[in-house]
Amino acid sequence: MKKPCIIDLEYPLLTMYYETIDQLEKMGADREYIQGWIGGYLGNPLREEQRLTDAYQAGYEDGGNRDTAQVREFRADSVAPA
């Protein structure tokens, strides 16, 4: 049986953060969605209005909720270039 890492035991939200980012990158999530997810997860203020995209806003909402509910809509291969 694998011995738990001290970081996993003391900082479970940090572990979740890194594991989720890794999962999002591996599944090909749009970069804007990932940036939004990071901002929402960390509680950063929303970007200024002229820099908001649908992917960023969906990621921000999901990050704040600690989930990835909308990621399937924002895969890098399914988003048209701006």
Number of domains in the chain: 1
pLDDT given for residue 8 in this prediction: 57
Task: Decide if 82 is inside a domain.
Answer: no
Q: What is the mean pLDDT of residues 56-74?
A: 95
The answer to whether residue 9 scores a pLDDT higher than 60 is no
Task: Decide if 78 is inside a domain.
Answer: no
Question: Could you give the CA distance from residue 21 to residue 62 in angstroms, rounded to a whole number?
Answer: 12
pTM: 0.79
Question: Could you give the CA distance from residue 39 to residue 35 in angstroms, rounded to a whole number?
Answer: 6
Task: Decide if 60 is inside a domain.
Answer: yes
pLDDT given for residue 61 in this prediction: 97
Here the tokens at position 56 are 């960023």
Task: Decide if 80 is inside a domain.
Answer: no
